[in-house]
């Protein structure tokens, strides 16, 4: 079946990079943002061009460019132990390429904003870019969600920092802040988030018409790059329509759905297609994953954009990676039940400690206390040298063979 949604997402990604350095946009100021806890809507209000360094690194990894860029980053003095996203992006921006990539020319920043308190690497990454380009760095410190949700104090703390950032945005962009414009942008964000959650919920069907990891990461691009725009809303309306048609025809990404998996952790981007085939050849589908929910689409929106500034502060605290270990465990338990999964795959990545910390504890919790088989794998988000194809394939095959034997002794589930 033709994947119109993925094709449309690819066109939006291409358009995003093309417009970053187009002639008609060169007078617009540039802000660099990091994806977790992002408040891109604020900067759309000031008509900034928005660049996300992590997205640059992902697209380089997907195009098998990351090895040379990582080496260029190491030539700049960054050690082997530094996050491969960082070395890849700094190699791209500060190395011989000077921001020129096959997918577009990345313009230098006029402002860098960090919107997440859980990754100290962001700070050093931003400082390195700031030193090179001579632009200011600002940080919105988003507290970790320690209980079931952010507290009123947490949101007030974030809101105060957003208010303090507005004068800087006005000065750099030359545009006065317009709260009504922000409100209209946030209405589009709310629609986009609700459509994205509706799309992911198709993974609850049996067979699942959507692979919630190996397909959904590509459908996720407009959520990251175009959130707060009419283009994002239109895209997710198309994606939901496609998924509904798939569900009606009982389409499955694999020939026969045999296993339903829940993926925890980040993708090994340089070998992502190969990684997916290891599971798909067994008829294993990712009914759900946490990675595609890292922005602001975890459990639905509990408030709307009627009060734009408060809603913006609320969105900043919704990132899955901003949750405590206990909240993550409860959420994974909820996903495992609602999506009726047979097993959990935990992919630890060498570069990202905030993402990977606690994954062994999660494996032990689900395997020992809940009786859900859990496979722990190790790779990296951008450095292919940490993806051992033979070793990972052997572990996947052994795990799914064991899962096959385990399922033989269980009664077949009723189809939805």
Report the CATH fold assignment for 20-181.
Answer: Rossmann fold (3.40.50)
Chain-centroid distance, C-alpha 31: 19
Look at the pTM and tell me if it is higher than 0.75: yes
Contacts of 252 (CB under 8 A, 6+ apart): 207, 208, 209, 285
With cut-offs at 50, 70 and 90, classify the pLDDT of residue 323: confident
Q: For the chain, give the mean pLDDT.
A: 91
Mind listing the pLDDT tens digit for each residue in 212-237? 999 999 999 999 999 999 999 999 99
Q: How far apart are the C-alpha atoms of 291 and 298, rounded to whole Å?
A: 10
Mind listing the pLDDT tens digit for each residue in 21-44? 898 998 999 999 988 777 899 999
| Residue 153 C-beta-side C-alpha neighbours within 13 Å | 4
How many other CB atoms are found less than 10 A from the CB of residue 332?
22
| Among the listed residues 96, 66, 95, the one whose alpha carbon sits nearest the alpha carbon of residue 83 | 66
What is the mean predicted confidence (pLDDT) over 336-349?
95
Query: Is pLDDT above 90 for 115?
Result: no
The terminus-to-terminus CA distance of the chain in angstroms comes to 22
Q: How far apart are the C-alpha atoms of 399 and 121, rounded to whole Å?
A: 34
Q: How far apart are the C-alpha atoms of 261 and 281, rounded to whole Å?
A: 14
Joined together, the tokens standing for residue 204 give 């609850």
Mind listing the pLDDT tens digit for each residue in 258-293? 999 999 999 999 999 999 999 999 999 999 999 998
- pLDDT for 413 equals 46
H/E segment holding residue 169: helix 152-173
Query: Is pLDDT above 70 for 297?
Result: no
Secondary structure letter of residue 52 according to DSSP: -
Bigger pLDDT: 146 vs 60: 60
DSSP 3-state of 319: coil
Query: Is pLDDT above 50 for 412?
Result: no
| Among the listed residues 132, 93, 113, the one whose alpha carbon sits nearest the alpha carbon of residue 46 | 113
Phi, psi of 76 (to 5 degrees): -80, -5
Q: How far apart are the C-alpha atoms of 6 and 215, rounded to whole Å?
A: 8
User: Crossing angle of helices 179-200/230-248, nearest 10°?
Assistant: 10
What is the mean predicted confidence (pLDDT) over 284-303?
84
Bigger pLDDT: 161 vs 81: 161
Pairing of the two strands 374-379 and 30-33: unpaired
Burial class from Cβ neighbours inside 10 Å (0-12, 13-18, 19+) for residue 102 reads exposed
What is the mean predicted confidence (pLDDT) over 70-81?
93
Distances 383 to 67, 71, 103, 377 between C-alpha atoms, Å: 6, 10, 19, 15
Phi, psi of 80 (to 5 degrees): -60, -30
Contacts of 139 (CB under 8 A, 6+ apart): 113, 114, 115, 123, 161
- pLDDT for 296 equals 65
Check if the beta carbon of residue 323 is closer than 8 Å to that of residue 149.
no
H/E segment holding residue 284: strand 284-289
Check if the beta carbon of residue 392 is closer than 8 Å to that of residue 377.
yes
- pLDDT for 416 equals 39
DSSP 3-state of 288: strand
Secondary structure letter of residue 365 according to DSSP: I
Mind listing the pLDDT tens digit for each residue in 182-216? 999 999 999 999 999 999 999 999 999 999 999 99
List 138's β-bridge partners, or say none: 113
Residue spans of the domains in the chain: they are 20-181
Contacts of 390 (CB under 8 A, 6+ apart): none
């Amino acid at each position: 079946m033709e994947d119109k949604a993925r094709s449309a997402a690819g066109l939006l990604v291409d358009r995003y990079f093309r417009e970053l350095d187009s002639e008609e946009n060169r007078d617009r100021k540039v802000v660099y943002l990091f994806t977790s806890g992002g408040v891109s809507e604020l900067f759309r209000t000031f008509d900034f061009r928005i660049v996300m360094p992590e997205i640059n690194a992902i697209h380089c990894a997907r195009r098998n460019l990351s090895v040379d860029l990582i080496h260029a980053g190491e030539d700049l003095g960054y050690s082997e132990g530094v996050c491969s996203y960082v070395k890849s992006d700094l190699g791209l921006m500060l190395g011989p390429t000077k921001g020129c990539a096959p997918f577009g020319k990345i313009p230098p920043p006029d402002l860098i904003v960090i919107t997440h308190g859980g990754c100290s690497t962001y700070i050093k990454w931003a400082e390195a870019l700031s030193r090179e380009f001579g632009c200011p760095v600002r940080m919105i410190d988003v507290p970790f969600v320690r209980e079931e949700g952010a507290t009123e104090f947490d949101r007030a703390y974030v809101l105060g920092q957003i208010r303090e950032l507005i004068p800087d945005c006005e000065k750099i962009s030359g545009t006065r802040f317009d709260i009504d414009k922000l409100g209209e942008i946030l209405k589009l964000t709310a629609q986009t988030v609700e459509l994205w959650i509706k799309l992911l919920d198709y993974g609850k069907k049996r067979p699942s018409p959507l692979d919630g990891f190996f397909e959904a990461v590509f459908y996720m691009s407009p959520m990251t790059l175009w959130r707060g725009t009419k283009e994002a809303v239109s895209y997710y309306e198309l994606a939901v329509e496609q998924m509904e048609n798939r569900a009606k025809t009982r389409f499955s990404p694999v020939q026969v759905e045999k296993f339903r998996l829940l993926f925890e952790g980040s993708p090994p981007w340089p070998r992502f297609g190969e990684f997916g085939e290891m599971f798909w050849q067994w008829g294993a589908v990712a009914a759900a994953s946490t990675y595609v929910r890292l922005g602001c689409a975890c459990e639905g929106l509990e408030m709307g954009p009627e009060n734009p500034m408060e809603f913006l502060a609320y969105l900043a605290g919704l990132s899955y990676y901003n949750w405590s270990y206990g909240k993550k465990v409860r959420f994974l338990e909820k996903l495992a039940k609602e999506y009726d999964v047979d097993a959990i795959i935990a992919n630890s990545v060498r570069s990202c400690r905030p993402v990977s910390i606690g994954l062994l504890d999660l494996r032990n919790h689900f395997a020992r206390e809940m009786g859900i088989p859990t496979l722990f794998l190790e790779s990296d988000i951008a450095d292919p040298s940490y993806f051992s194809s033979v070793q990972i394939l052997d572990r996947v095959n052994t795990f799914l063979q064991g899962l096959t034997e385990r399922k033989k002794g269980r009664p077949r589930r009723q189809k939805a």
